[in-house]
């Protein structure tokens, strides 16, 4: 697999991971604590969620993305948003501090960091939409779900066809 194929596989699985979690969270009931992570051959869901629930949500998420519901690929819960917030607010805070490194600059530093967090929300969504996810799943299908660590870790394995 060349680097572009690898990257597009991760982006597609990232979109499917988001769609799966979106379907899961829309089912009502208490929101489970979970984390997801996309890889070239699928994605992981870390959380105490029954395998059959993940399977159903992944199947529905796949079907909905294939029907064109591309908005499922972008979520405010994505780690991309946290990374963007950290980079933008950190950069603005450092710039506000300047070379002086004096405590009287702290109000400007805090204001700049806050502005960075506000700016990062639309920036994180755009980064997901155009860089870290790809809702056009092509021929991706669900192959199997592997469960480990007593059902705490699930790998949704995807593949072509």
pLDDT in tens, 4-51: 999 999 999 999 999 999 999 999 877 789 999 999 999 999 999 999
Same domain flag for 70 and 7: yes
pTM over cut 0.85: yes
Same domain flag for 114 and 94: yes
Same domain flag for 124 and 138: no
Same domain flag for 58 and 16: yes
Same domain flag for 140 and 106: no
Distance CA 85, CA 48 (A): 28
pLDDT in tens, 56-103: 999 999 999 999 999 999 999 999 999 999 999 999 998 998 877 677
Same domain flag for 32 and 51: yes
Same domain flag for 83 and 143: no
Same domain flag for 45 and 69: yes
Same domain flag for 9 and 67: yes
Region at 147 (left for phi over 0; alpha for psi -120 to 50; beta for the rest): beta
The domain in which residue 41 lies consists of 3-74+134-160
What residues pair up with 157 in beta bridges, in sequence order?
Answer: 42, 144
The enclosing H or E element of 115 equals helix 106-127
Question: How many domains is the chain built from?
Answer: 2
Place of tokens 């700049």: 112
Question: For residue 31, what is the DSSP state?
Answer: P
Q: Average pLDDT of the chain?
A: 93
Same domain flag for 148 and 122: no
Distance CA 160, CA 94 (A): 46
Same domain flag for 68 and 141: yes
Half-sphere exposure of 105 (CA within 13 A, CB side): 14
Half-sphere exposure of 96 (CA within 13 A, CB side): 20
* % pLDDT > 90, the chain: 83
- Which residues have a Cβ under 8 Å from the Cβ of 129 and sit 6 or more positions away? 73, 74
Same domain flag for 112 and 86: yes
Distance CA 126, CA 138 (A): 21
CATH number of the domain that residue 33 is part of: 3.30.980.10
């Amino acid at each position: 697999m060349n680097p572009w194929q690898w990257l597009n596989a991760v982006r597609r699985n990232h979109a499917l991971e988001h769609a799966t979690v979106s379907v899961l969270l829309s089912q009502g009931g208490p929101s489970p604590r979970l984390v997801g992570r996309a890889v070239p051959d699928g994605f992981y869901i870390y959380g105490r969620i029954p395998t059959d629930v993940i399977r159903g949500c992944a199947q529905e998420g796949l079907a909905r993305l294939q029907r064109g519901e591309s908005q499922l690929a972008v979520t405010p819960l994505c780690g991309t948003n946290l990374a963007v917030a950290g980079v933008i607010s950190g950069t603005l805070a450092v710039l506000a501090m300047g070379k002086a490194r004096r405590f009287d600059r702290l109000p400007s530093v805090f204001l700049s960091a806050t502005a960075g967090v506000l700016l990062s929300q639309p920036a994180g969504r755009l980064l997901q939409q155009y860089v870290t996810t790809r809702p056009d799943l092509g021929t991706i299908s669900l192959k199997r779900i592997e469960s480990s660590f007593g059902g705490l870790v699930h790998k949704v394995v995807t593949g072509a066809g």
